[in-house]
Amino acid sequence: MEEVTTGLFIDGAARAATGNATYRLVNPARPSETVGHAAAATRDDVDAAMQAAQRALAGWSASSMDERAAYLRTIAETLNADAGETAARARLLTREHGKTLFETNIEVTRLADRFAQVAGFADAVAAEDTVSGPMFDTVVTRSPRGVALLIVPWNWPLAILGSKLPHALLAGNTVVVKLSEFATLAPAQTIMKIASMLPPGVVNLITGDGTVIGDDLVTHPLVRQVNFTGSIRIGRHVMQQAARNITPVTLELGGNDPGILLDDAPLSPEFFKKLYISIFLTSGQVCMALKRLYVPRALFDDVVDGLSAVMDRQIVGDGLKDGVTMGPLTTPQQKRTVEAMLEEAGAAGQDIRYSGQIDDEGDFTAGQFLRPSLVINADPSLSVVKDEQFGPTLPVIAYDDEEAAIAMANDSDYGLSSSVWSADPSRAVALARRLEAGFTNINSHGPTAMDGLSPFGGVKQSGIGRNFGPDGVHQFQEVHSISGQSGHIFQ
């Protein structure tokens, strides 16, 4: 297949990295296959992108909220106008990432919907608050922070971009986007299309090794907001580096999401299909996937059997092939992490049940594949329970009463998402209120259940701040209170 090369995009134009340096991206289904090369930016490139964003800031921030919303609508209407080009980007994303073409088609096409949705927030986020008391009148206004640095991970790069880029733009910020070096090519092409529909310098793209340029990006003196999605380990480092300039940060970090089935959960074929997608979408490489399942002891065998039946029907292989429903893990490091968890569980005598069919034994052996698995009644001390697996395995744990289920679900340093599954919505919501998470779904879980009108983010070590919804726009704004004696401002 054709190899693709992408560059940087700075001040309205594509350009090579300083010294023409690039890095190689491979197909995780066949790691010997080169998919393409992306520009490896240097400190000089980082500075050029920041300077371009700063130059564009005055004009962009001075535009009205309605004018910025109009740009977002144009992007929404134009981004996928060429169906053939859109399909090519989806195929390219599958080749460099590994997820199935079905999933990449969703990711590539629905980014436009995020821009349209955020444009609809314009009136709400433009409104000013007023406070009137016996002594003072105050107007509470919001203004753009300035240059925003958006750091996007590899697992759902365009979907996660859609949780922050349109929000930053509507707020009046200019932007520098840093993509992951493990999923760069199709996202870079997409960002260049978006940037080309905006004034030069409003959106700039940097690609390269985060260990080389990450600190240069986060600590650049022109950055006024950092919005990072990724692991807790890297998020902690980003926060430390941002503190050097007292730069505000929004961090959406890892999740080890619990799901609690109640004793009235409807164990239908549709239920098990939805449960499977909540767990194993993108081979489990989703921060807000269901990663720990707590089941009433009386239903335990029925749930394991029903979920295993869905898992058995899955075909593991190259995501571009018809009929394949689960692709490889994207990085060799992630495959090793999941394998180590399963080896630890196996050594502890745990019952591990593998499912799914292998499409091609040769690809499976050479590629970064794992079959989906369940760890039955997993010991809570094991890493497969305590830590984020970010892969196609799930610990299933029996409980005897709801208090025990809630305690186990909350016994974690993580707190991104959670879910409650019940035929009784009021009962489910009452339990959900007691879960320590930033977002809880009822009878669903994961990105297919994401409400983009509502704020999303984590508690505890799963993050700080919120993306999505009008609150996601406010993350990119400074609050300014203008106050005077009562009767002097409000006539």
What DSSP letter does each residue of 171-189 carry, written as one string?
Answer: TT-EEEEE--TTS-HHHHH
Q: Please tell me what DSSP assigns to residue 467.
A: B
Active-site entry in 252, 388, 402, 436: 252
96 is catalytic: no
411: which 2 tokens? Answer: 């016994």
Cβ neighbours of residue 83 under 8 Å, at least 6 residues apart? none
Cβ neighbours of residue 170 under 8 Å, at least 6 residues apart? 65, 68, 69, 72, 118, 119, 121, 122, 125, 473
Beta-bridge partner residues of 417: 439
141: which 2 tokens? Answer: 């206004």
Positive or negative: CA dihedral 391, 232, 183, 33: negative
Q: What count of other Cβ atoms lies within 10 Å of the Cβ of residue 2?
A: 8
Q: What count of other Cβ atoms lies within 10 Å of the Cβ of residue 238?
A: 25
252 is catalytic: yes
* C-alpha to C-alpha distance for 413 and 185, rounded to whole angstroms: 34
Active-site entry in 103, 107, 181, 287: 287
Please work out, in degrees rounded to the nearest 5, the angle formed at the alpha carbon of residue 38 by the alpha carbons of 228 and 78.
70
Q: Please tell me what DSSP assigns to residue 197.
A: T
Cβ neighbours of residue 483 under 8 Å, at least 6 residues apart? 136, 137, 138, 139, 489
Distance of CA 42 to the CA centre of its chain: 26
* C-alpha to C-alpha distance for 378 and 477, rounded to whole angstroms: 44
* C-alpha to C-alpha distance for 237 and 227, rounded to whole angstroms: 13
Q: Determine how β-strand 30-39 pairs with β-strand 22-27.
A: antiparallel
C-beta separation of 31 from 102 below 8 A = no
* C-alpha to C-alpha distance for 239 and 349, rounded to whole angstroms: 39
Q: What count of other Cβ atoms lies within 10 Å of the Cβ of residue 483?
A: 15
Q: Please tell me what DSSP assigns to residue 326.
A: B
Reference 112, options 91, 96, 89, 143; nearest CA is: 89
* C-alpha to C-alpha distance for 57 and 63, rounded to whole angstroms: 10
Q: Which of the residues are catalytic?
A: 252, 287
